[in-house]
A and B are shown apart, each in its own frame.
Chain A
Amino acid sequence: MTDIVYLEKSIREHARCNEILRRLPRARVIEIEHHGEVFNPKAQNFRLQKLNPALVLAEKHGNFVLPAPIGYAIGGQNNYYFSHMLNCLYDCRYCFLQGMYRSAHQTIFINYEDFASAIEQTCATHGDEPVWFFSGYDCDSLAYEPVTRFIDFHLPAFERISNAHLEIRTKSTQIRQLLKHKPNPRVVVAFSFTDEATHRYSEHQVPSIDKRIDAMVKLAEAGWSLGLRFDPLIHHASFEAGFNDLLQRIFARVPTQQIHSVALGVFRMPKQNFKTIHRLYPEDKLVNQPFEVRNGMYSYPEDIETTMFSFCESALLTYIDPSQYFPCRW
């Protein structure tokens, strides 16, 4: 549990801050002027902070909703993301957040109402067209839900906007709040998976594959639309057997009719982020894999990437309909 909370002085009386602090009774609170003071300094070590990250409570000013990166889509034409939180509870060695931020502290922007207004305004600019919002880009959407109650706040907001669609992307099993709500057909709860060997090697603190499948089954039984995200795919000596095993375990239990979408993407990372991660973890196997730089991204050589993609695609399409499948090529 969080030991330290950095709190922006200007929001110390905010009701949501008080609620969050009540959920962390043992945390020591350090007041700050602006979250950048603790989040941005150069002389920090992400790897060390990841051992015991602090929580930063802050207010976001502007840029609540941003266009989603290219390839970040599950069938919609209008795609946006929003980040009520920066950083993730989990510690996955392939994650670009390690190379993007100087700090591993979890920052929560507590002005949820401003996010909701921005989402509503964005939807209004698209008339009746469906607009997709992705909430798990800079964080795990659900992992910190017991503290943030962000999804709890936003589900009713999304229900009110008739053309708003939401993807909640997660590796967590924190579904209790979701199960309290009536399923919304415009909300997809998408679970990310890698094969067992990659999960055990590189996804630290992430719930086991079976526990995540359990969570999916419970949500499916409650009527929620589900997503599967096999992104990033990590290459290793027994990758193909591992991927097949993963698919078998998932589709043996999760009903395919509840699957809204399945996305697939091979590991790729912006050059600068990768270099930062290599500096942080020079001895780690994942950062020493045979990557090459293509179009400013570290990724596998084209032949390996193509082989991985076609193998996974073929394997997947034995379980799902092509209309459910969304490859993420870059």
Chain B
Amino acid sequence: MQIWMCALHCEAKPIIDFYRLKKASSSAFDCYLGENQICVVSGIGLVSMSAATAWASNLLKQEQTASWINLGIAGHAQLDIGRYVLASQVTLQDSQRAIYPVPLIRHEFELLPVSTLLQPSTEYREDCLFDMEAYGFAQTASRFSPLELCQCLKVISDNQQTSLNRDKQYISDLIAPNIPAITEYAEQLDRLAQQLPRKNSLPDQLNRFLALAHFTRSQQILLEKMLVALIPDPSSAEPLFDSVKGFASSDQIIHHLKQQLHDWSLHLSARDIE
């Protein structure tokens, strides 16, 4: 699952259009849903972005790790309008604390620090971009996914020569031409997220095993851990389930599964080796 966090609807619109996302009925934040995409419009500012990011995390399934992208506009002293920048470092105005969204994917965007301001400013700097949300996004999103999967992608909307134009169409038009590069990057980020193992066993499978006997809480935790390894995909569940359904107690089931796990782990088969 991939979550796009934008401050303004006009920043989100090219993404909503590209993925053909449908508006969800929600009162807290404007939210648009697709098969593998969620786009949330937070409103301007660090607090709004933090709140919306935390709110969006509740839309995720627990067992998968999501990738997050904060897409929006930013200012810089010299960079051309329309240039794309991936944040190499995110700081909060006047704060020493920095967040480094780890860039693992090869890309063609500029890589520069972003400083999040609490108020708009035209005191542009050459060593970093100004925005108003990135820090709130990075700090909150990294509670739910590792920093490698929380990226801030900014398009330059204003600089020393060109003051900020707040026209919605103008902002959407800055983003739209780069949609192929942005979505290509997003797909790579999503593939990266899929490299992580499930956080928990498949809930349906776990429930089937739990229904066979009474498991203590510690047995449930152990069972869940074992099933992550023993049932890598739903197709491998049936034979394993058949092998334990004759057992009467949770102790017997746990003992049998442990044995299965150990036997499996000690056979470094040709398939593993290839």
Contact = CB atoms under 8 A, between A and B. Distances in A.
Contact of B268 (A30, A48, A201): A201
A4 interface: yes
Interface residues of A, number: 37
Contacts of B146: 43-45, 48
Nearest to B88: A30
B216 to A, nearest CB: 20
B264 interface: yes
A48 B142 CA distance: 14
B267 A236 contact: yes
A37 B101 CA distance: 11
Contact of B195 (A4, A33, A37, A51): A51
Interface of B: 88-89, 98-100, 102-106, 111, 142-143, 146-150, 192, 195-197, 225-226, 228-229, 232, 258, 261-262, 264-268, 272-273
Given A48-B104, A48-B195, A282 B142 contact: no
A282 B225 contact: yes
Given A54-B102, A237-B268, A289 B273 contact: no
A32 to B, nearest CB: 8
B98 A37 contact: yes
A45 B100 contact: no
B100 A38 contact: yes
Contact of B262 (A44, A54, A289): A289
A44 B148 CA distance: 7
Interface string A183-208: 00000000000000110110000000
Contact of A44 (B106, B147, B232): B147
B273 A290 contact: no
A285 to B, nearest CB: 4
Contacts of A237: 266-268
Contacts of B149: 45, 48
Nearest to B99: A41
8 contacts: A3-B103, A4-B103, A37-B98, A45-B196, A282-B197, A285-B265, A289-B266, A290-B266
Contacts of A201: 268, 272-273
Per DSSP, chain A at the interface is loop
Nearest to B201: A282
A52 interface: yes
Q: Which 7 A-B pairs give the minimum distances between C-beta atoms?
A: A45-B146, A43-B142, A200-B273, A290-B262, A288-B265, A285-B265, A197-B268
A47 interface: yes
Contacts of A198: 268
B274 to A, nearest CB: 8
Per DSSP, chain B at the interface is mixed
Nearest to B101: A43
B197 A281 contact: yes
A179 to B, nearest CB: 32
Nearest to A239: B266
Given A30-B88, A283-B228, A37 B100 contact: yes
Contacts of A282: 197, 225, 228-229
Nearest to B143: A43
B196 A47 contact: yes
A236 B229 contact: no
B266 A236 contact: yes
B171 to A, nearest CB: 28
B106 to A, nearest CB: 6
Contact of A285 (B102, B147, B228, B264): B264
A289 B267 CA distance: 10
A198 B102 CA distance: 31
Contact of A48 (B106, B148, B232, B273): B148
Nearest to B147: A43
A51 B262 CA distance: 28
Given A48-B146, A288-B264, A289-B262, 7 more contacts: A6-B100, A28-B88, A30-B100, A32-B100, A48-B196, A49-B104, A282-B197
A41 B148 CA distance: 12
A16 interface: no
A278 B258 CA distance: 15
A37 B96 CA distance: 11
A28 B111 contact: yes
A118 interface: no
Interface in A134-175: none
A49 B111 contact: no
Interface string A252-272: 000000000000000000000
A60 interface: no
A45 B88 contact: no
B265 A286 contact: yes
